[in-house]
Structure 1
Amino acid sequence: MKLVTTPRVSFLRDLADEIAAHYGRGRMIVAIDGPLQSGKTQFADDLAAVLREREHAVFRASMERFHRSRAAQDAYGDDTPARYVGYGFDESALRRVLVEPFRMGGSTAFVTGVIDPARDAWVQPKWITGPSDAILILDGRFVLRKRLAGLWDFTIALDGEPADPADVLAYAERDPRLVASAVVDDSDPEHPRRRLRDVDDNAR
C-alpha cells in the first residue's frame, strides 16, 4: 500500500533503501535501540510500514515480549537497575524461539513473543512462518549490547541521553550510538534526521 508522503515517510524511505542495499536476499534482522521512552516501538512500526511499501515481507518483534517475569527476575537478587540490565530480558528465549529459527530461512517456524508484559504472564507461543526472503525488525532496550551484537544485520540507535538508571548503566557498558549502523534523532517525530558520528565515535 502506498503511504502518504510526509517528511517522516520520506526519511524512512531513504533509510529503507539503505537497509535494502545491505539486504539482498534471504533473512535479515534490523535491531533498534534507544533510551527509555525514546519512541523505539513507533519508529520500528513506521519503518516496517515503509519496507512493506517496498514489497518486502516484514515481521515485527519487541524485547518487551521477551521480558523475564518479575518472579523469574527475583532469582537474580534484589530489584535494582543493575539486575534489570543484566537479567531483565530472557535473551536465551529470544535466541531460541525467534532469532535462530528465523535465520533458518523458512524451514522452521518462529515466535515473536513469550510474555505479556502488562499481565506479567507467559503466553501460549504462536508459531509463525514466512518466505525465505524476509526482514525482522526488533526494537527494545539493550538490544545493541555487546553480547547480542552478532545477531543483527543492520542496527539503528535513536539519539538521546540516558536518564533512567538502567539506561545509564547500559550506556556506560556500551553506548548504542557508537556502534549502530545508523543513529537517528527522532526527538521531533515529524522530522527525524540522521546524526552523523565523528571519527572519534567510529573508532570506539
Structure 2
Amino acid sequence: MSSENPVETLQRSLRDLMRQNARAGRVVVAVDALDLGEAMDFAGEFEKAIADEGTAVFHVSVADGAPEVREWLITPFRAGEAFGPEYVAPSDAVLVVSGRFLHRPEVRGLWNFSIWLESNPPIGTPRPELPDAEKQYLRTVRPTAEASVIVENSDPSHPVQVFGDFC
C-alpha cells in the first residue's frame, strides 16, 4: 500500500500533462468550477505541484467569466510586465487562473491548458437545483468538452481525472 497522497499524485500527473504541450515560456492555466472556493483550493494545490518542479508560478482568482482578464492579467503576464497584484513573471513561469465560467468562448482561447472540476453529490443524495446562469453555462458552453482535463472533485482529498469518451 502506498503512502503517497492522492492529491499530490493527481496534481503531478496534471502538471506533467500540461508540460507535454507547454514545455517552457509563460504558460497560462485555467481551473474552472461552478464553486469558486473549490476552484481556488484546487488551483492552490496545482500551484504547489508546479513550484515543486522549480518553476515560478503565480495564482490569481478572477470574477465570473473574467471579462477583462486579457487586458489586466494575461497580456501583461505573457509580455513579462507587471500583472495582477504587481507580479512580474520571469521568462519561464506558469500563471494559474482560478474562477467560474472560464471556458466561455470569449476567454477560453487564453489558456494553454484548462481544468474543469466536476463535483457530484454522494450516490443517493439529491442533486441541488442549480441557478439559471450555471445551468446555461453547462448547457451552452459545455466545459467538459472544452477543458483539457476533467477532474471529478467531489472528495477534494481524493480527486480523480475523468477520461470522457466522446465517440
TM bucket normalised to smaller: 0.7 to 0.9
Q: 1:142 aligns with which of 97, 101, 121?
A: 101
Alpha-carbon distance, 1:42 to partner: 0.4
Cα distance per residue 1:100-128 (max 9 Å; x no partner): 11111x2x2112xxxxxxxxxxxxxx322
**Unmatched segments (≥5 aa) in structure 2:** 121-128
Q: After the TM superposition, which residues 85-164 of structure 1 pair with which residues of structure 2 at under 5 Å, given as runs?
A: 91-92=67-68, 94-104=69-79, 106=80, 108-111=81-84, 126-160=85-119, 163-164=130-131
**Unmatched segments (≥5 aa) in structure 1:** 65-87, 112-125
Alpha-carbon distance, 1:19 to partner: 1.1
- The AA in structure 1 aligned to 2:10 is F
CA contact (8 A) 1:32 1:139 kept: yes
Cα distance per residue 1:153-176 (max 9 Å; x no partner): 001101146823221121222111
CA distance in structure 2 between the partners assigned to 1:193 and 1:134 by the alignment: 26
User: For residue 6 of structure 1, what is the aligned residue in structure 2?
Assistant: 5
The residue matched to 2:107 in structure 1 has which SS? helix
**Structure 1 residues 89, 157: closer, same or farther in 2, change over 3 A?**
closer
Q: 2:139 aligns with which of 165, 172, 190?
A: 172
Q: TM-score, normalised by structure 2?
A: 0.86
Structure 1 residues 17-26 or 133-142, which shifts more? 17-26
Cα distance per residue 1:128-174 (max 9 Å; x no partner): 21211100000111111111121110011011468232211212221
CA contact (8 A) 1:157 1:177 kept: yes
CA distance in structure 2 between the partners assigned to 1:19 and 1:90 by the alignment: 22
The residue matched to 2:28 in structure 1 has which SS? strand
Q: Runs in 1 of length 4+ with deviation above 3 angstroms?
A: none
CA distance in structure 1 between the partners assigned to 2:38 and 2:15 by the alignment: 18
User: For residue 63 of structure 1, what is the aligned residue in structure 2?
Assistant: 62
CA distance in structure 1 between the partners assigned to 2:108 and 2:41 by the alignment: 22
CA contact (8 A) 2:66 2:107 kept: no
The residue matched to 1:58 in structure 2 has which SS? strand
Q: After the TM superposition, which residues 21-36 of structure 1 pair with which residues of structure 2 at under 5 Å, given as runs?
A: 21-36=20-35
CA distance in structure 2 between the partners assigned to 1:184 and 1:10 by the alignment: 13
The residue matched to 1:16 in structure 2 has which SS? helix
Over the matched positions of the two proteins, sequence identity in percent amounts to 31
Name the count of aligned residue pairs. 157
- State the Cα RMSD in Å: 2.0
Cα distance per residue 1:57-81 (max 9 Å; x no partner): 10001113xxxxxxxxxxxxxxxxx
CA distance in structure 2 between the partners assigned to 1:180 and 1:90 by the alignment: 16
CA contact (8 A) 2:66 2:102 kept: no
CA distance in structure 2 between the partners assigned to 1:101 and 1:138 by the alignment: 14
Alpha-carbon distance, 1:25 to partner: 1.4
CA contact (8 A) 2:34 2:134 kept: yes
- The AA in structure 1 aligned to 2:33 is G
